[in-house]
Amino acid sequence: MARPRPLLAGNWKMHGTRGSLGEIAALRDAVTAGRTRGTDVLVCPPFTLVMAAAELCAGTGLTIGGQDCDPQPSGAATGDVSAEMLRDAGAGAVIVGHSERRANHGETDETVRAKAEAAARAGLMAVLCVGETRAEHDRGETLRVIGRQIDESVPPGARAAGLALAYEPVWAIGTGLVPSPEAIGEVHAFMRRRLASLLGPEGAGVRLLYGGSVKPDNAAEVMGIADVDGVLVGGASLTADEFLAIVEAKR
């Protein structure tokens, strides 16, 4: 089976104001010039920048996404943004279930599944994050936790084109720590098998991303691991130069 096309995704988290749109424009220019050929590139800035960023990138190969969405299309949910609103703003994707949202906003696997279903309903690709905490890792529970998160948060009818699954060990996010290539490979092989049993043949096409302290100097090694179809990058996606160095490490 052919490997899925790589996806390199940036998560800006709560960083960036209008002054940062120049980074998106620089990235768009690099994509347009062919520097990222052979890969899909996605950047998820804060909500406030989604529409402006999407307008800058309209008709180019650089997709803009949101970092979260509410499960409902509209309603009494002060401060929240729906998948339909993101789509209307020009987004093509949305991150759901990031560990910072699971930890800081009490999101359960059930909530995450509802958000992934909302993304599909709105025509957005969901980048669904799973990952164990340091304590779970130290207790040897990594595969059990990832298995539960997949079973309970991946929508049963998910299509490969509408889903990417990001393995982000909580203890690797923003810490400079990265699991060994063997450990990442073991989790990704497990995720691939689990998706196959959940989604059938469709599971083989779902892109499996690794996220957690990916930088230009470790990107090539991470992306060379079997069943790693791309990366989800936080801090190192904030400037076009650093993110491009990661994208280009893939090639």
Q: Which residues are near ligand PEP by CB under 6 A?
A: 11, 13, 168, 173-174, 211-214, 232-236
Rounded CA-CA distance 58/125 in Å is 17
CB 160 within 8 A of CB 195: no
Q: How far is the CB of 42 from ligand PEP (least distance, A)?
A: 12
Residue 71's Cβ-side half-sphere holds a number of Cα atoms within 13 Å equal to 14
- Judge residue 132's burial from the number of C-beta atoms within 10 Å of its C-beta, 0-12 exposed, 13-18 middle, 19 or more buried: buried
The CA-based dihedral angle spanning residues 163, 164, 165, 171, taken in that order and rounded to the nearest 10 degrees: -140
Catalytic residue among 98, 100, 107, 132: 98
Q: How far is the CB of 72 from ligand PEP (least distance, A)?
A: 25
Q: How far is the CB of 133 from ligand PEP (least distance, A)?
A: 14
All residues at 6 or more sequence positions from 102 whose CB lies less than 8 Å from its CB, including other chains: 108, 112
Q: How far is the CB of 189 from ligand PEP (least distance, A)?
A: 21
137 is catalytic: no
Q: 199 or 207: whose CB is closer to ligand PEP? A: 207
Q: 122 or 236: whose CB is closer to ligand PEP? A: 236
Q: How far is the CB of 114 from ligand PEP (least distance, A)?
A: 21
Q: 11 or 149: whose CB is closer to ligand PEP? A: 11
3-state secondary structure 73-141: CCCCCCCCCEHHHHHHCCCCEEEECCHHHHHHCCCCHHHHHHHHHHHHHHCCEEEEEECCCHHHHHCCC
Which phi-psi region, left, alpha or beta, contains residue 43 (left: φ > 0; alpha: ψ -120 to 50)?
A: beta
Q: 93 or 199: whose CB is closer to ligand PEP? A: 93
Catalytic residue among 107, 117, 168, 188: 168
Q: 96 or 232: whose CB is closer to ligand PEP? A: 232
132 is catalytic: no
Tell me which residues are annotated as active site. Answer: 98, 168
